[in-house]
Structure 1
Amino acid sequence: MQNRDAGHTPVTVIGLGLMGQALAGAFLRDGHPTTVWNRTAAKAEHLVAQGAKLADSVGEAVAASPLVVVCVSGYDAVHELLDPLDEVLHGRVLVNLTSGTSEVAGETAAWAARRGGSYLDGAIMAIPQAIGTADAVILYSGPQEAFDLHEPVLRSLGAGTTYLGGDHGLSSLYDVAVLSLMWNILNGFLQGAALLGAAGVDAAAFAPIAKAGIGTVADWVSGYAQQVDDGAYPALDATIDTHLASMEHLIHESEFLGVNAELPKFIKALADRAVADGHGGNGYAAMIEQFRKPVEVRI
């Protein structure tokens, strides 16, 4: 079902931290009647000056709009605010853009359903300044009917509005998957900067070489993804056995220069397991098999 009045759909934003303020501001810029609420009412002053209505209570804020967007400190805060409302949520679409996990997303979806509301879980892959621009990617998961109904409104928050599917936990899973990517890239850069720093090289001198290397690896991702989905890992560039030799070099250099070698040793330990499982002659994508299974003994 499409919402023909999407251009004027009222929306409520609960939580006015930096991100919440950015969300409300984007809705206002696109002409949506916007109701806001925050524990500290003073944070709403500039939004009220732009035309937002400040609700006196959470219940009044929820009742004001068919679409309610929540962005607070955590899921505990979401429930603290909304649990007492009960039937006020009936017939409304609740979009939770609070960071959390797939487990609590599913629990919150069931909680909203018991109160007669539709629930979309979301993940914001952008900084507050990017909200409402082409650079903002926001992921949503939950009932497609609820997403389709308010998709034109949600697109006010960014051109990268993306629906992932009916599983409420998908947005949180994508979020933490990207966080894993971010930390691994940054940790690799910092390990390299520490190595070069021990030789008197500034991190600024390393940065352009690091960016080029990251770009090269990024070009491999699609091919690796296909191998992972196919369950076949041809050694198109190098085998895991070959990678192991280079990992030894990284460990040696780190220890020789007095740089922490824990990260490269951990990476090599995973590769050693892959070889023990018979993947030494496969391409690096075969390492996915190590990440798919938990381990009982910590390295």
Structure 2
Amino acid sequence: MIQEKELQLLASAAATAAVRAGYLIMEVYNSDDFQVNLKSDATPLTLADRKAHEEIKNLLGKTRIPVLSEEGRDIIFDERRGWEYFWMVDPLDGTKEFIKRNGEFTVNIALIYKQFPIMGIVYVPVSGELYFGQNTHGAYKKEGVTPSLTASFTFEELLNGSMVLPCSETPPVYTVVGSRSHMSKETEQFMGKLKEQHGEISFLSRGSSLKMCMVAEGKADVYPRLATTSEWDTAAGQAVAEAAGCEVVDFDSRERIMYNKVVLQNPWFVVQKKTK
């Protein structure tokens, strides 16, 4: 089992990889033109995805822990089923938000141990916000982290000056955060039930794994995702949310969301503050 000191080094490596990938993403984001292709599942793939993937793969490859990335996902289950530890990576979560240029996209890196995330980095290149969660250290938000191809963090630097999550006052009105690009009728029905329970609710739209971070931060009470997502979409955000005292559970069974399944898709799930 990986010891605490090594976990701290791995957290530093993940943060470094995320911020360096963020620099490469922003190079494309700020260019006059960028190429968009369609993957086999018809979702967009940009030059930024590919550059970020390569940077993260190269840096995390030095840890000798397997990397499972959205852009390098063709690893058969028979090969990965025996992984005790592995990195789950989405080099650019919120590609549609990237293409719309609204800034609501993230770099997601999670360390999975026995099918559950134990550490996660969610980095927002446009705003310079970096969310970090580790099950033995809690969750944090660091602001003003400028994308850089020479970025390097020690564990102490990662935590220094960071805010402990949750760091926001509980919203006066019960607040739901949902997808900016995906809103299912089931989600609307779920929100209708919440309105019956709470009388009044507020709804916030965000892209990418920022929705999970909003609950972790305390700016939202719940994030229901009653539509399809893939494991790399949620692993890092789940690590941050759980380290902040929230739960990420299957909508039907209420079991904790797990990873490295035969098919790399999540069930419908809910992120919320743990009920006492």
TM-score range with shorter-chain normalisation?
A: under 0.3
TM-score when normalising by structure 1: 0.24
Higher helix share: 1
Identify which of structures 1 and 2 has the higher relative contact order when contacts are C-alpha pairs closer than 8 Å and 6+ apart: 2
Q: If you compute each CA radius of gyration, which structure gives the higher value, 1 or 2?
A: 1
**TM-score, normalising length: structure 2:** 0.25
